[in-house]
Amino acid sequence: MANVTARQVLWYIPNQIGFTRVFTAILSFFLMPNHPIWTTWIYGVSCLLDALDGTMARKYNQTSNFGAVLDMVTDRSTTSSLICYLCVAYPKYAPIFQLLVSLDLSSHYMHMYATLTSGGASHKTIEKEQWLLHLYYSRRSALFTICAFNELFYLALYLYAFPQLWHFNLPLVGQTHVAGVIAVVCLPGYLFKQLANIIQMNRAALLLASKDAENANDKRN
């Protein structure tokens, strides 16, 4: 059997899905200012494909480090880019959005770096003592649901910036934007995701500090 080449790895089926995610995400960025409906559909496709690449990797035995990094980088880039637009749409709340981007990027970078430094095989392998993170990463249904709520919350905020879209009358409330209802429904899952980011960053900091302490003690001895 011939050796697998780097080019073949790049074009694994799950990685092709990853490239499609990148393309659809970039397309949605250009459409964001003036085409909210098209943006929502195309950005949504990019997010939904995130659930497909892992399935294809396992089905065809085409897991790869490149694919794992491509998946995480695409996740972080698409969400951060959408939040960048929210800073434009809601300039008053830009500092809050900036903090949310910083938390998302910092927690995931520290988590992956700490996993590699401590010799872990995957950033999704979490000890059971960290029950919330273990639930988040060990159950695909939980991971998919929370990530979906997170993205839908941001998409709802994006659509809310277009007041001409989708209103209906809600008892005791009156005229209501559909995006506002979606945001409220997704809020618990969204808050869970932010809490998971904080716990993830704290765990990564402890792992790194423990490794540093171990190295310092080895040098003393």
| Complete DSSP assignment for 107-170 | HHHHHHHHHHHTT-S-TT---TTSHHHHHHHH-HHHHHHHHHHHHHHHHHHHHHT-TTS-EEEE
In a domain, 49, yes or no: yes
* Residue 123 pLDDT: 52
E strands in the chain: 167-170, 174-177
For the beta carbon of residue 94, count every other beta carbon within 10 angstroms. 15
Q: Which residues contact 208 (CB under 8 A, 6 or more apart)?
A: 110, 113, 114, 117
Work out the angle between the directed axes of helices 178-220 and 131-138 (0-180°, nearest 10): 120
Q: Are residues 139 and 192 in the same domain?
A: yes
In a domain, 117, yes or no: no
Q: Are residues 35 and 82 in the same domain?
A: yes
State the residue range of the domain holding 207: 126-221
In a domain, 101, yes or no: no
Residue 104 designated active-site: no
* Residue 111 pLDDT: 87
pLDDT digits (tens, 9 = 90+) for 170-193: 555 556 778 888 999 999 999 999
∠ CA 13-20-141, nearest 5°, is 75
Q: Which residue among 65, 89, 113 closes a domain?
A: 89
* Residue 155 pLDDT: 94
Q: Are residues 141 and 77 in the same domain?
A: no
In a domain, 188, yes or no: yes
Q: Are residues 83 and 139 in the same domain?
A: no
Mean pLDDT by 10 residues, the chain (221 residues): 86 94 94 93 90 86 89 92 96 96 93 80 58 66 85 94 69 69 93 91 89 88 75
Q: Are residues 215 and 130 in the same domain?
A: yes
> In this structure, are residues 113 and 207 in contact, taking their beta carbons and an 8 Å threshold?
no
In a domain, 121, yes or no: no
In a domain, 134, yes or no: yes
Q: Are residues 70 and 20 in the same domain?
A: yes
Q: Are residues 74 and 133 in the same domain?
A: no
User: For residues 17 and 19, what is the distance between their CA atoms, to the nearest angstrom?
Assistant: 5
In a domain, 211, yes or no: yes
Q: Are residues 73 and 141 in the same domain?
A: no
Q: Which residue among 61, 89, 117 closes a domain?
A: 89
Q: Are residues 6 and 69 in the same domain?
A: yes
Task: Considering the candidates 50, 53, 75, 104, report the single residue annotated as catalytic.
Answer: 75
Q: Are residues 79 and 131 in the same domain?
A: no
Q: Provide the number of structural domains found in the chain.
A: 2
Q: Are residues 44 and 135 in the same domain?
A: no
In a domain, 174, yes or no: yes
